[in-house]
Chain A
């Protein structure tokens, strides 16, 4: 069927072999691709007995049927694994060019298993698959590695890890196309544990849509809406994702100084407006994207690169009480080069600052202290000094110093740039996140702040569970097609369904896709349950539940999680302990998971 290549490439690094298997098209229809295909493959390959950093863990790269089609934002790909940071399902997706290029090699998925004896790279081209020695690249940064392996914008694309991944840092990212990131949950450490430095792709096969007329119509209609939306046609191109910095700060939901406050008095200095006014060189787009939200910036010391995104500017900014945009930007560049998740890195530094402030950790580290940032990032990537503690992520670090409650994380994944006390629905998103506290799994920024699709009361709780569930399912399916979520700011599932129909030649409705989303979400939940996660893990840091916001527009608020969680389980057809009922699994064609439970 058009859209899918119909092939999965599996590489065993222990034995240095590879094999090509057909993609089960029934699985493709049920899970589409990307994140959905990733969790479905992982379910069979990685059981609860597998340690995340062992050779038995699988690192699964997937594309979707939309990837490489030329539909707006059809550049993305996904990685799935078991997370060394959280122990949960790990999924992360990234833009740029690599995903489109991997699709061109003729595969839908690449499964990497085993562990090489010495550092290697994988090269996949029209000539075949090669595993090559990478001794000379081990220890080098992402930028040098990407250049050394011949990154060539639309023709040859490099994905690699930096020193953080090599040193099994639990918050290490995988980077592609130099500065795009598969960041959350530590995928870089999984890749490092396999002694795999990089994957280079160079393909020549095009993803040609089955119904050209419908595809051209959808291109036109989608383009029209992307142009009409002020978010996708003005806000993101002009100011990047940090356009929301001032907005979130104004409503009192910008976590500040390790979530001790929810407003940062220096927010303007790290905002999208400030970035545009002071350090922006130009904006840039991923492949086939008309939005162009990427910032190319240059600091006073002439360092140039991509970023900072909103989350990164927040992580090294408000979270650490720092307003020095130049240093924040260089911290972002350095994380990209070392291969580190900027959100977890900044959040963990903020946690260390509070541990120090409270006298629990001995370090010369204060909130607002920008001059330590770069050293801390270097030390984390190389596991040196205090960086060795940070390399474990904020939860393990705070636990070691006797105060796990100061880790602002859920399931050990650091919370991103929204204080849920000022956005109740976002609190439920974080608490129930399958990969931990994550804004990409159903962000409530749309309905609770940006009025997308309509503005709802951000402090209300009744009815929130349904909206959260719909957004989670929608995000799961968008991550599986794969589209960029920013396209979803202008067009919704009815567009994605028609584009998928055009590409594959099979008819899909918006609610066919939503059911796929629910199926993916539920299987991820089952994966976590199989790993031993329970209702007790669907929670938030105690600060969010019991420490009222001290001042500002969210003053006095905590997250009223219990009633939302009860409503959430009921909405999803799960029992009171958050376990999907067998009727629900049958409805979602997840019978194979029931059989596994019975075993």
Chain B
């Protein structure tokens, strides 16, 4: 009575799957995009006074000339020394006169998030007013420019990471921004160590082109 159902020939299934596989191999790429995210300064308004008076000690001028030579705060420097210099500039550990003014600041963190803060989550301390001014020539190569950007970002990231590890026993990168508490912690740390890197408008540095 029971009629046996005819069996489907599965022999060509492999061929079909191979075909699909090869299609996906050809049309897709595997590279994930990585890079350094930076914020450009907004275009100044017409009536805005562009000459903002900044205390000289609060500015570290990083120059990259057309032969990709680096000059930091008036002295020629190797690229690998820039990170330490930047970290010193942003922290001013010895309270030197020629390093930025440290301003007494209060930063609100989530209450009870760390035993090193006051119970209501307030951090009190000195925050640097320093700004790094990065200037490059039109003939500087992009590779050298990005290396310098990288060192500056590395310095700030290290400072933030150290702070985060000390207070919250966690890596700064591992803070989950989807979690509102950790998001607030991250925002607080961003205020503690600001990424104050300004890029001046392009101009010619170090001789004529």
To the question of whether A and B form a pair in one complex, the answer is no
B residues at A contact (CB < 8 Å) = none
On A, residues with C-beta under 8 Å from B are none
